[in-house]
């Protein structure tokens, strides 16, 4: 069999993943990228849900098929969990328990197991049994309200903020924290990962700014939401866009120099009342040239100006190409390690059995 055990810093860790969508495969992709052996449990006689969408998320796995609605399938899953470090599931609260594979049963057989649960609303609370998706979780957390154009409706930031940042990334963080604690106690524990909780955690700085009076609830009128003329996006002559992040004074000075604007003729940037006039002046300049012209013009400056690249353009950018940020199997594993680099194999087909792994030390 092909060896799907990675070579990264998590080499030697074993993870059992109950097949799901979105944040669960994202988290398990990261674990596999970092060297963990991940065995995905797929349902029999069915194609992988969202197989094309999850082609990259599924990389670096083994796959076995088990029918968890049968005693035979449950017994097979419990055997896998008994020799694993981590089990990851994304069912609604109570489903794993009804199937006979909940944390109490699994950890009775393997006290050191980290049982990681991924939901939108969490294992408890009035909404725990309600369905939802990324947009619902970030809406309730307060994050969605802050994103959008002035006077317009909130704009969903794809499903990056909830599913993958507040969900998948927080799931990985919880798993690694529980494994670290296990080194001292010898015991596993249940990790309750909720997208709504993770999204709220990501809002820490904005909440502090709000309580301090430096962030206002009007969209598009704040320092980091496109309201500031020196931290926003401008249209260029070809209809494409340029991103400006000239927050600090020295970068702002470089921006004005690159645009050919005399600071003595402009209102002071630190007064938000002047932002509309400054934004209009900058927009007029950026509209004179194409995106790539501006990108080349600012390339060797410290103005913090970059082209807004599409998903198909980004892999060809010289910086990302030089770092190998994108590979044939999607984004490269991140972060990077000098002694234990990771190079995960491609995704498996559903039902591909794992190789015969070496005995645990």
Catalytic one of 67, 83, 110, 133: 133
Does 216 qualify as catalytic in the annotation?
A: no
Calpha distance 75→23 (Å, rounded): 26
- Please tell me the total number of residues recorded for the chain in this structure: 361
Residue with tokens 């080194």: 183
Q: Is 192 a catalytic residue?
A: no
Structure tokens belonging to residue 117: 């649960």
Annotate 119-138 with b (16+ C-beta within 10 A) or e (fewer): bbbbeeeebeeeebebbbbb
Cis peptide, bond prior to residue 335, ω within 30 of zero? yes
Q: Which of 72, 76, 96 is nearest to 84 (CA)?
A: 76
Annotated catalytic residue within 33, 163, 197, 225: 163
d(CA 180, CA 177): 5
CA 105 → CA 108, 118, 184, distances in Å?
Answer: 5, 18, 23
Distance, CA of 335 to CA of 134 (rounded, Å): 25
Q: What is the DSSP letter of 165?
A: I
Sequence-ordered list of residues with C-beta below 8 angstroms from that of 147, at least 6 positions apart, any chain: 154, 155, 156, 157, 219, 225
The pair of structure tokens assigned to 230 is 């020196």
Give me the active site residues, please. 133, 163
């Amino acid at each position: 069999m092909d060896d799907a055990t990675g070579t990264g810093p998590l080499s030697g860790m074993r993870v059992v993943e109950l097949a799901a969508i979105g944040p669960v495969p994202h988290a398990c992709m990261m674990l596999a990228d970092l060297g963990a052996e991940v065995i995905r449990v797929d349902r029999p006689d069915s194609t992988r849900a969202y197989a094309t969408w999850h082609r990259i998320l599924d990389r670096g796995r083994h796959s076995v098929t088990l029918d968890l609605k049968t005693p035979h399938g449950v017994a097979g899953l419990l055997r896998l969990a008994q020799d694993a470090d981590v089990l990851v599931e994304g069912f609604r609260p109570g489903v794993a328990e009804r199937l006979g594979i909940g944390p109490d049963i699994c950890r009775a057989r393997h006290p050191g197991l980290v049982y990681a649960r991924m939901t939108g609303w969490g294992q408890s609370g009035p909404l725990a049994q309600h369905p939802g998706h990324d947009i619902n979780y970030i809406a309730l957390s307060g994050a969605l309200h802050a994103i959008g154009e002035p006077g317009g409706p909130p704009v969903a930031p794809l499903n990056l903020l909830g599913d993958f940042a507040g969900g998948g990334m927080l799931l990985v963080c919880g798993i690694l924290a529980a494994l670290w604690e296990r080194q001292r106690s010898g015991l596993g524990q249940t990790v309750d990962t909720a997208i709504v909780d993770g999204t709220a955690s990501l809002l820490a700085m904005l909440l502090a700014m709000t309580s301090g009076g430096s962030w206002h609830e009007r969209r598009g009128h704040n320092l980091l939401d496109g309201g500031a003329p020196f931290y926003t996006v401008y249209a260029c002559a070809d209809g494409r866009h340029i991103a400006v992040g000239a927050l600090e004074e020295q970068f702002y000075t470089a921006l004005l120099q690159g645009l050919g604007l005399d600071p003595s003729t402009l209102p002071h940037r630190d007064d938000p009342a002047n932002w509309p006039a400054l934004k209009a002046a900058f927009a007029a300049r950026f509209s004179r040239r194409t995106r790539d012209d501006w990108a080349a013009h600012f390339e060797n400056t410290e103005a913090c100006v970059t082209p807004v690249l599409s998903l198909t353009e980004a892999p060809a950018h010289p910086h990302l190409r030089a770092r190998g940020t994108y590979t044939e199997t999607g984004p490269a594993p991140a972060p990077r390690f000098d002694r234990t680099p990771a190079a995960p194999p491609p995704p498996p087909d559903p039902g591909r059995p794992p190789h015969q792994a070496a005995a645990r030390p």
